[in-house]
Amino acid sequence: MPTVRVRLYATVRKYAPPGCHEGTFSVELPEGSKLEDLYRRLGIPEREVKQSFVNGRRAEPDQVLREGDEVGVFPPIAGGTEARPCGQP
Partner 1 sequence: MRKLVRVNMTDTTVRVEELPEKYRFMGGRWLTSTLVADEVPATAHPLGPNNRLVFAPGIVTGTAAPSSGRISVGAKSPLTGGIKEANAGTPVAQSLARMGIAAIVIEGQPEENDEFFVLKLNKDGGELERAEDLAGLGLYEFAARVQERFGNTGFIATGPAGEKRMAMAGVCCNDTEFRPSRYAGRGGLGAVMGAKGLKAILVDDTGAPGVCIANEDLFRVGLRKLSDALREHPITRPGGTLNTLGTAALINVLNEAGGLPTRNFSSGRFEGASRIAGETIAETARQRGGKTGHSCHPGCIIRCSNIWARQDGSEHVSCLEYESVWALGANCGIDDLDTIAELIWICNDSGLDTIEAGVTLAVAMEAGLAAFGDGQAAIRLLRECALGTPLGRILGNGAAFTGRAFGLTRVPTVKGQGMPAYEPRAVKGIGVTYLTSPMGADHTAGYTVAPEILSVGGKADPLLPHGKADISTNLQVATAFLDSTGYCLFIAFAILDIPAGFEGMVETCNGVLGTAWSGEDATAIGTQILRTERSFNEAAGFTRAHDRPPEFMRYETLPPHNQVYDVPDEEIDRVAAVLTESR
Per-residue mark of binding to partner 1, 1-30 (x: CB under 8 A):
------x-xx--x--------x--------
Q: Residues 6 or more apart from 21 whose CB is under 8 A from it?
A: none
* CA 79/CA 56 separation, integer angstroms: 18
Nearer to partner 1, 1 or 62 (CB): 62
Residue 50 touching partner 1 (CB under 8 A):
yes
Q: Give the residue from 50, 24, 23, 14 showing the smallest Cα distance to 35.
A: 50
Interface residue list for partner 1 (CB under 8 A):
7, 9-10, 13, 22, 50-51, 53, 55-58, 72, 74-89
